[in-house]
Amino acid sequence: MNRQLERIEEEFESARARLRALAQVAPFSVWPVRPDPNRWSIADCVEHLNRTASAFLPLLRAGLEQAEADRRPDRSYRRDPMGWLLSVIMPPPVRFARVKTTSDFEPSGNVEPAELVRTFERLQDEQIAYLRAADGLPLNRIRIRSPFDARTQYNAYSCLVILPRHQHRHLWQAERVAEELAKGGKSVTAEGRAG
């Protein structure tokens, strides 16, 4: 597989390992707890990632079909300007003010933690399978329109770079919540709906 795509697979696998480690240190009983009504819980962060992957996978599959029809391979992959910008600001630690997500990506708070982990694992497998199937295809020429904002689009390679970085951003957020809950330094609540 192309080395650029291998690095993305490593980021997906690193995110998977990070979630598994989080599940080892933070009991599922605290996953729904918000350290503050205006912040997400561990469960909220993981549910948001699952909703994100579920929204992007059909777009990536459609892009894969388009790329297979093109069959003019790219020598190397590159991020376009929007993809570059998003991939640079996405990874943790979060340096910019929190951005409210759109309603489709808001967590419901009604999914059991064990189910969240199973779904994350399944979606991670699907994203990695897509990545492997895309090897050698013209990912620079395939456009993906963001399900977060239809005015935003980037090439398929940029999308693949952004997705695991987005995962690491929210897993980092979940880890901070787990640390706070473990310290017990703040009052906790399961109420509120901000991210």
pLDDT tens for 19-67 read 999 999 999 999 999 988 888 999 999 999 999 999 999 999 998 888 8
Domains contained in the chain, CATH given: 3-183 (1.20.120.450)
**Segment 93-111 mean pLDDT:** 72
Q: What confidence category does residue 108 fall into, taking pLDDT thresholds of 50, 70 and 90? A: confident
Distances (CA, A) of 182 to 35, 99, 108, 122: 11, 26, 24, 28
d(CA 81, CA 79): 7
d(CA 118, CA 140): 32
Q: What interhelical angle do 3-25 and 156-183 show, nearest 10? A: 20
DSSP 149: -
Q: Which two tokens stand for residue 182?
A: 């473990």
Q: Which two tokens stand for residue 92?
A: 């943790």
